[in-house]
Amino acid sequence: MTSSSQEPCCGVCTCGAKTDQKGQDRREFLAYTAGAMGVAGAAATLWPMINSMNPAADTLALSTTEVDVSGVKEGEALTVMWRGKPVFIRRRTGAEVEEAQKVDLTTLRDPQSDAERVKASSFNGQERPEWLVVVGVCTHLGCVPLGQKATDPHGEFNGWFCPCHGSQYDSSARIRKGPAPRNLDVPPYVFTDATHIRIG
């Protein structure tokens, strides 16, 4: 290169060439176009790699679980696996249902009536509030709360107690005390007949 000028020839480099204005504009345009295309191309190449970490088709297809609840007696609970997470199915006693329905919604952190939470348990137009189905994962940081077994601690509200950071859920699995922000989630589910639930 023979030029001794230190003027940059385009916006993106300092190769020190002296050229006429027209050629310089053209080069600048080409350089920016190439740069933009390079960035777009690199991003488009990276996307399939990042996307490959999302759930695969077979994982998504496995997202329903069928449960037979005919063996669950009143006051008992069943834990089943759905999408790799525990789902709590509880057949509540009349006293527990009544207790859950009586709660003043204005005192709740995540206000939701008990009827709303067990809506999907209806079968053949008949409401069945004794069946509570929730995802057994604490909405704080993902631990599994205690309370499924009679011998477990149930917290101050006769529901579930999370041993990790002390969140307490009531008999409708609503958050009442502790750091968790939301009630335990209700998964999508239906009763396919009186004693079978399909979750997901």
Partner 1 sequence: MSASERTPFKNPVIDWIDRRLPVFTFLNKEYGAFPTPKNFNYLWNFGAIAMVMLGVMILTGLFLAMNYAPSTDHAFGSVEHIMRDVNGGWLLRYMHANGASFFFIAVYIHVFRGMFYGSYKEPRELLWILGVLIMLIMMATAFMGYVLPWGQMSFWGATVITNLFSAIPVVGPSIVEWLWGGFSVDNPTLNRFFALHFLLPFVLLGVVGLHVAALHVTGSNNPTGVEPKSKKDTVPFHPYYTVKDLFGVTVFLIIYALVVFYAPNGLGEPDNYIPANPLVTPPHIVPEWYFLPFYAILRSFTIDIHLPFTSFVLISSKLGGVLLMFGAILMLLVLPWLDRSPVRSGCYRPWFRLFFALLVVDCLVLGFIGAKPPEEPFVTVGQIAAFWYFFHFLVILPLLTKFEKPRPLPASISDAVDAKKIVLLLALLLGVSATAQASESNVLPPHRPMAGWPQEGAFGTFDRAALQRGFQVYKQVCSTCHSLKLLSYRNLADLGFNEQEVKAIAAESKVTDGPNDQGEMFERPARPSDAFVKPFANDQAARAANNGALPPDLSLIVKARHGGEDYIYSLLTGFGLSPTHGEKIAEGMTFNPYFPGHQIAMPPPLQADSVTYADGTQATIEQEARDVAQFLTWAAEPKMEARKQTGARVVLFLVLFAGVLYLLKRSFWTRVH
**Residue 13 within binding range of partner 1, rule CB under 8 A:** yes
Question: CA–CA distance from 93 to each of 4, 82, 90, 185 (Å)?
Answer: 91, 25, 9, 21
Shortest CB 37 distance to partner 1, Å: 5
Q: Report the chain's C-alpha Rg in angstroms.
A: 30
Question: CA–CA distance from 24 to each of 10, 28, 43, 124 (Å)?
Answer: 6, 6, 28, 77
The only residue of 20, 21, 22, 53 in contact with partner 1, by rule CB under 8 A: 53
DSSP assigned state of 185: P
Among the listed residues 108, 110, 129, 107, the one whose alpha carbon sits nearest the alpha carbon of residue 118: 129
Question: Segment contacting partner 1 (CB under 8 A): 47-55, 110-118, 145-153, 161-169?
Answer: 47-55
The only residue of 43, 62, 141, 190 in contact with partner 1, by rule CB under 8 A: 62
The only residue of 6, 21, 51, 107 in contact with partner 1, by rule CB under 8 A: 51
**Residue 64 within binding range of partner 1, rule CB under 8 A:** yes
Q: Are 158 and 150 in contact (CB under 8 A)?
A: no
Identify which of residues 80 and 133 has a Cβ nearer to partner 1 in the complex: 80
- Paired with 78 in beta bridges are 89
Following CA atoms 169, 173, 174, 178 in sequence, which dihedral angle do they give, to the nearest 10 degrees?
Answer: 20
- Paired with 89 in beta bridges are 78, 133
165 is catalytic: yes
Question: Segment contacting partner 1 (CB under 8 A): 1-9, 96-104, 110-118, 166-174?
Answer: 1-9
Three-state DSSP state, 36 = helix
What is the pattern of x (binds partner 1, CB under 8 A) and - over residues 136-155?
--------------------
Give CA–CA dist 23/135, Å, rounded: 66
**Residue 31 within binding range of partner 1, rule CB under 8 A:** yes
The only residue of 26, 109, 119, 165 in contact with partner 1, by rule CB under 8 A: 26
The only residue of 7, 11, 41, 115 in contact with partner 1, by rule CB under 8 A: 41
Give CA–CA dist 119/48, Å, rounded: 40
Mind telling me the catalytic residues? 165
**Chain contacts with partner 1 (rule: CB under 8 A):** 1-3, 13, 15-17, 19, 23, 26-27, 30-31, 33-34, 37-38, 41, 44, 47-49, 51-54, 56-59, 61-62, 64, 68, 71
